[in-house]
A = this chain, B = another copy of it.
Amino acid sequence: MLSFENDYNNGCHPSILSQLAATNDLQTDVYGFDHFSASAKQRIRQACECPDANVFFLGGGTQTNATVIDSILQSYQGVVAAETAHIATHESGAIEFGGHKVITLPQHEGKISATELRELLAGFYADDAHEHIVFPGMVYITFPTEYGTLYSASELIAIESVCKEYQLPLFVDGARLGYGLTSPASDITLPFLAHHCDVFYIGGTKVGALCGEAVVFTHGNAHPHFFSIIKQHGALFAKGRLIGIQFDTLFTDNLYLRIAHHANQLAVQLKQILTNKGFKTFIDSPTNQQFFILPNDVMETLSQHIVFSRWAPFDAQSTVCRFVTSWSTTEADLQFLENCLNDIV
């Protein structure tokens, strides 16, 4: 059944598959020291305009978040994040498993506010008992957020500014980074992002790869033994080439951004189809995740033809539903969705 459930229910972009096949018979160094990984890292440094960046490849998002955060925080420190942040909600306690608290801030369409961040930090240091409290040790944001929304350039700079004021590293979870960078609503480019944070990751799994995320410590600021910390987290791939080849492909001929741009464009059309039918967005997302409020009877009937997520109840009669596009979504898929809706409404 056709699925808009998420952006990782498919295989990889065909170019990646081709490249895996083309290189399969070669022998390479292992643990990420192969020349494909080296090439991919160099392409990423160039795309980020960060010649001194340290780049590492890991397998998935939760693993990346836990490994990066554990490498930065000291034991008595926690990570500041939105209450809706992936690390605060959907990682089965991976951050706490590493010994750290997720210190939450209110979310505003999935985002934290620089003002509230400053208040939290000022309040912490003003508290006479703060040596008894978990220290804020870094700040984590998602771009795009879990709701598909985006920080603007000025919002990012405002957060960066607070981080610098309190000497806290800023970490950007880019599990869906491409969709943020190529959104028409975005004024943030990859070099801009890299310039205004300390570490971020370029999500591969949800942007056309089989697996893999590229962590970028933007100014040579990776922990000197980050490799061992990766290994300790069980996150080191013996055949590191598997991820290296994928990112080498994604960062050749702009494939990474082209994949994301395609999905965003189809998301705009998808939004139009649903809006035309009179449905309201739950949140106005400018990226490849679209959140619509559907009457429950429509949702149930549509579910017989198409797969999508039931995000949360909206009220007694309706539900917030999520529709996601990806590299593999086609115009025909949207036509099928529209036809289904025409039959229902």
Contacts and interface: CB of A to CB of B under 8 A. Distances in A.
Output the residue of A2, A97, A236 with the most chain B CB within 10 A: A97
B27 A133 contact: no
B29 A9 contact: yes
B11 A30 contact: no
Contact of A96 (B21, B30, B131, B134): B134
Contact size range, A: 35 or more
Interface in A84-136: 89-94, 96-97, 99-102, 128-129, 131-135
A327 B11 CA distance: 25
A231 B94 CA distance: 8
B21 A17 contact: yes
Contacts of A64: 234
A272 interface: no
Contact of A310 (B25, B60, B128, B225): B128
Given A17-B24, A93-B134, A234 B231 contact: no
A96 B94 contact: no
Given A11-B24, A237-B59, A92 B231 contact: yes
B90 A129 contact: yes
A314 interface: no
A268 interface: no
Given A10-B27, A210-B242, A238-B60, A133 B92 contact: yes
Contacts of A237: 59-60, 211
A46 interface: no
Interface string A208-227: 00110000000000000101
A56 interface: no
A14 B24 contact: yes
A21 B93 CA distance: 35
19 contacts: A9-B27, A9-B29, A9-B30, A10-B27, A17-B20, A62-B231, A65-B234, A67-B234, A74-B225, A76-B92, A76-B93, A78-B96, A90-B129, A93-B134, A94-B234, A96-B101, A131-B231, A211-B237, A233-B234
Interface of A: 2-3, 5-6, 8-12, 14, 17, 20-21, 23-30, 59-67, 70-71, 74-76, 78, 89-94, 96-97, 99-102, 128-129, 131-135, 205-206, 210-211, 225, 227-229, 231-239, 241-242, 307, 310, 328
